[in-house]
Every structure is written in C-alpha cells, then in structure tokens.
Copies of this chain bind each other. A is one copy, B any other.
Amino acid sequence: MNNLDIPDIIISRLPIYLRALRHMQAQHTQTTSSQELGARVGISAAQIRKDLSQFGEFGKQGTGYNIGFLIDKLREILKVVQVWDVAVIGMGDMGHALARYQGFKDRGFRVAMVFDNNPSKVGTKVESFVIRSTQDLVTSIKQSGIKVAMLCVPAAEAQDVTDLLVEAGVKAILNYAPISLSVPSGVRVQYLDPSIGLQRMTYYME
C-alpha cells in the first residue's frame, strides 16, 4: 500500500500507541487488548482495531496483541527501526534542552548537529556538540545527509531558517516557534505548541 493512501490522522495516532506499548513492555507485560491499550491512550478500542487493520492483521480474536510483535511492526511502519540524525537550530533555552534531552533514546532519533546564528555562541559547546554557524547550515546538512530538524529560533527568523533547511534537503521539521511555516510539498512540519496542549485541557475545566 502506498504510504499516502492512509489518512494522516491514523498515522498521527501510531506513535501514541507505540509509546504506550513500550511502557507496558517496560512493566513486563506480554500481551494486551485494544480495550486495555485504548484505556491507556484515551482512544476507543474500535478505533485502535480499525487503525491497526490498515497495516495488516496484528492481533488474534480472543488473545489480543503480542506487545513485542506489535512494537516491532509499529517501529517498521513509522520507520524508526533505524536511528535518524537530527539537527537542532537555535541554541536558546529550548535548543539547549533538546540537545541534552534523554527522551530520544530507543525512539529512533539522535541529535547530531546544533546551530546558532549568534557569533558569541558559535564554536562553544553544548553537551558534546560544538555549535555551528547558521551560515554553514546548508553545506553542513547537505554533506551529512541529515533529513530531520528541530527548529527553536525566534518566530521572526523561523521562516528564513526553514527555507535554508528545505534547501539543505531536510524533509521533516519539528517546529517550536509559535508561527505557521510554509514548506514545499514533500516537506513535513509538526508543531510543538504548548498553548495547543493547554487548550486541549481547559475545555474540561469547571
């Protein structure tokens, strides 16, 4: 099946299933049901079965899903069996936090390069990374073959840096700047926007 035939909303749920399954695995659970998984992630059992059925037959009526097997399948589907090198652009607070973040381990990503446009930062180190100049961004990323970037620059600079990332061949941008980015088709952007996360909860407040 072509990977564009499946609705994006289904794809967006698979990483959430994967994270929940890994938590279950860490607790030494062997099997689960769509009901149990659904209760963990707040998605109906019917929706989970429908989502997974797009990719094959992963569970058995009555016995449910083998957690290890389903994790392997989801990692294959999401292409995170491999480890993707990631560039972080903008070494402010958020960029620093990401360069040091321990949560990418075993999830398919590794920070490989960090950039900033501030001459007083370029050449200094964050963790084991020497901060590179944004002026060298296109050359460095092209040479390294990096396809994934996290963007932590101020909103006013975000589109310009995005244009450089696209020129460098980056295909996936995780955007922390609170601004919508324009990218050509074939390049994807995801937004990590704390206001969105908060607004999803205030709806339920008394």
Segment at the B interface, from A15-23, A64-72, A114-122, A135-143: A15-23
Is there contact, CB below 8 Å, between A201 and B16? no
Contact A195-B78, Cβ < 8 Å, known A15-B200, A96-B93 = no
Instruction: Provide the residues of chain B in CB contact with A206, threshold 8 Å.
Output: 171
Q: Which of A81-118 contact B (CB under 8 A)?
A: 84, 86, 92-94, 96-98, 100-104, 107-109
Could you tell me the distance between the alpha carbons of A188 and B94 in the complex, rounded to whole angstroms? 24
CB distance from A3 to the nearest CB of B (A): 6
Copies of this polypeptide in the complex: 2
Could you tell me the distance between the alpha carbons of A198 and B107 in the complex, rounded to whole angstroms? 10
Instruction: Provide the residues of chain B in CB contact with A20, threshold 8 Å.
Output: 180
CB distance from A183 to the nearest CB of B (A): 11
Could you tell me the distance between the alpha carbons of A101 and B198 in the complex, rounded to whole angstroms? 14
6 contacts between A and B (CB under 8 A): A78-B199, A93-B96, A148-B201, A171-B206, A190-B197, A190-B198
User: Contact residues of A with B, CB < 8 Å?
Assistant: 3-4, 8-9, 11-12, 14-16, 18-20, 23, 40, 42-43, 47, 77-80, 84, 86, 92-94, 96-98, 100-104, 107-109, 147-148, 150, 155, 171-172, 174, 178, 180, 188, 190-206
